[in-house]
Amino acid sequence: MKVLTKNSDYAIRALLALAAKKGSYLSAKSIATEHDIPYQFLRRLLQEMIRHDLIVSKEGAQGGFMMKKDPDAITVTQLIEIFQGKVQVSECMFRKQICGNRARCVLRHEIMRIEQVVQSEFEKVTIGKLLRDLESAGLKP
């Protein structure tokens, strides 16, 4: 069971790069080479992040991408939702008979409780936090 797919993984790395160079444009190409991310793949991810208002872009030579949203306001949960869909434990785990009785279904409760825990843990991790952690460890993203 994989929690982060390449999508999210790459997206996080790219955002860290952008957050570190806040205020200036970074080209997809430069991010791709520096971070070993497949170029065309990365470009699609960046487009997606524009659509979600996390970053902005400038076309043409010397163009590129720049942070828009506050890095502290971007959580890993959000990125997972964008690139892997909402965290869901199971579509609906038990047979019709039981599922008719959603309110009482204790299994569903258990499952939903875990879902909550997972989400809230990931919500504690923001791009801003990751960046500061990296920096305080003496590493550039």
Partner DNA sequence: AAAACTGATACTATATTAGTATCAATTAAA
Partner DNA sequence: TTTAATTGATACTAATATAGTATCAGTTTT
d(CA 46, CA 44): 5
Of residues 60 through 79, those in contact with its own copies by CB under 8 A are none
Of residues 64 and 131, the one with the C-beta less far from ligand FES: 131
Question: Dihedral, CA atoms, 130, 32, 23, 76, nearest 10 degrees?
Answer: -30
Binds DNA (CB under 7 A): choice among 3, 22, 33, 44: 44
For residue 24, the Cα-to-chain-centroid distance in whole angstroms is 21
Binds DNA (CB under 7 A): choice among 22, 58, 102, 124: 58
Binds DNA (CB under 7 A): choice among 7, 87, 98, 125: 7
Backbone angles phi, psi at 126, to 5 degrees: -110, 165
131 HSE (CA, 13 A, CB side): 20
Footprint of its own copies on this chain (CB under 8 A)? 1-4, 8-9, 12-13, 34-36, 80, 84-91, 93-96, 98, 101, 104-107, 109-111, 113-115, 117-118, 121-122, 125, 129-130, 133-134, 136-139
